[in-house]
Chains A and B, each alone.
Chain A
């Protein structure tokens, strides 16, 4: 796989229904594409393998809804929200210590809001329903099994696992998520590279809403987002904790090759996290509702596939668009942003009567001009930095020990000076001050 199969599809019948576009995958990218196309008056069919949109989808828990402003004005009045994130905490951890930078904003708790926790089966379904209301046709429990090509090898639709299952269309939009089989079949994507992917595993834990409010210092529909570093036994990655109405999502994201090498099972890492002294009190008495796992395309800008070819384009995770830049783990908003852009590009191409790669090329320039590729380009070096050995294995402990040294009262021994303390703690963690300075400069370059 990964090489374009340009053999025409035998027996592509002419009487299969013809659409302006076939969108594969009713995740956020696919529903946004279908919505944009249906609103533009195009005939579009949205194919989803699950029994309903969102039934197969896994994520951490926070969606940043600004991208919806343009498509669903006042979306916050109707979106199936769990809680509005008003507290965002970044935690550096070792097995027994933690240092949190905690930010709280009252403005994030009011319209137009910033981030929300939401359950994917509800959110994806809500977005897909918008597309259906706009005129898209949603077909569930149907797997797109491959691409249809005409005599010139041009993509003219998809094959599905149903009888008479060919769908012919001017354009196929592959929104089939990470490890997109369609993008590979079209030759847009090289075979999957483990180092460009992380494995996200999470548990959803039941906890009564009022207990969540009390433990996390929240009121009514307020929520918290805690991102954690140093909680994965040195396996590059991180942890997260998000509050829903009456559940808490807790999980870890792990570099695949390192996970394999470490020979640790992912659920052991979640168990570690649940027992951590800074996390356990939040979760006392919580019971497991759900366990889920999914790949994340974390390679960023430099690992994205070619996005268009004749008759097809790729959006969302299928195009590796999750922004996993350490402080940020955002994929849903990027999927929606790219889906809307894909819809617009297909509409323009159909209007111009040119659905070749050239006719669809405005997709990429549209993405470059907005947050989707601008953010990815800006933070293109972030995945390598964030997953690097020192950031992952040395700095969380170093920072915690530094703070420990500052605040542990050692009377009658006098307090250590800042420089001496830094020097000794850095030495303890095998980091040279030169490396510390170099990493600071690198971080400023990457995130600056």
Chain B
């Protein structure tokens, strides 16, 4: 097991699974591949918020997941970012069927196991989860975790920020009609976040290479609902809505770059020429959209000097 470190503990409780499972069209069977295992956007956001909050509190991050060994690559990345990592072993090396069949189908039992596995690290100040996993997606686990830990809960958040007290975080939650409200969430708490607004930091190459050479600690699933239930005299403290009324976020103003040369301003705005084409996700899009993206790429790189034809020419030409 990784070192038990001093300072407040922020736990990122994440689901690591195949992000591109194949579905057999006739039987509906889901086929998962170990190598395309990764973090869904909400889980990636949960991890990033955990780091931000732990930094603000001078604390440390523990990343926990229940998954087969195919999750280790993602856990190594988290370790390269400085987290303590732990995997509750489920399933065979190449499949997480056991998770789906047993653990994942009973989120309450899962919450009990996670809390049991975390017990040796001490009591978490904050647990951050994604608001839904890409495969099961009920979003119920954080609530069960809060129950097991006897902690406050605020779910489906857009953002979490720290306050000057370590016993409180401020969260933002969406309301109908584009409105949002602020919540004051007392710690210990369990929060779940949307997969938007933040981007997971990347580890340095040196740390990535070093983390690759390490083993990921794993524990076997133990415990169950109620076995490790946190005791909090009088129950968890209450989440407070406000202060302030619901608000609509303002449009973000991006300051115009300096200079008279439009080309240079455009370069400054887009970051072009700063690096070669970074990995870009353009999908999911339809075949015509994909062809457009490709033709635009070819034009950009000088393979084609003509504009694409058809209806799209008008929009393409403006790029």
Please report A residues at the B interface, Cβ cutoff 8 Å: 16-17, 45, 49-56, 121-122, 125, 137-143, 145-146, 160-167, 179, 181, 191-192, 194, 197, 199, 201, 203, 206, 208, 246, 256, 260-261, 263-267, 287-288, 291-293, 295
Contact = CB atoms under 8 A, between A and B. Distances in A.
Contacts of B253: none
Given A162-B204, A288-B287, 12 more contacts: A17-B209, A53-B35, A141-B279, A143-B279, A163-B203, A163-B205, A165-B205, A179-B301, A199-B298, A265-B291, A291-B286, A293-B291
A167 B26 CA distance: 47
Contacts of A54: 35
B251 interface: no
A16 B208 CA distance: 12
Interface of B: 24-26, 33, 35-36, 38, 73, 202-209, 212, 275-276, 278-279, 286-288, 290-291, 294, 298, 301-306, 308-310
A256 B294 CA distance: 12
A139 B38 CA distance: 15
Contacts of B25: 206, 208, 246, 287
A160 B291 contact: no
A153 to B, nearest CB: 21
A84 B35 CA distance: 23
A264 B295 CA distance: 12
Question: Which one of A138, A164, A261 has the highest number of Cβ atoms from chain B below 10 Å of its Cβ?
Answer: A164
Contacts of A208: 25-26
A46 to B, nearest CB: 11
Contacts of B291: 201, 265-267, 291, 293
Which 10 A-B pairs give the minimum distances between C-beta atoms?
A: A163-B204, A164-B204, A263-B309, A162-B205, A291-B287, A165-B205, A52-B35, A164-B206, A125-B35, A260-B304
Contact of A142 (B33, B205, B298): B205
A162 B303 contact: no
Nearest to B202: A162
Contacts of B286: 291
A162 B203 contact: yes
A165 B204 CA distance: 7
Nearest to B210: A17
Given A121-B35, A260-B304, A260-B306, A143 B208 contact: no
B17 to A, nearest CB: 14
B287 A139 contact: no
B205 A160 contact: yes
Contact of B276 (A53, A164, A181): A181
B41 to A, nearest CB: 13
Contacts of B275: 143, 145, 161
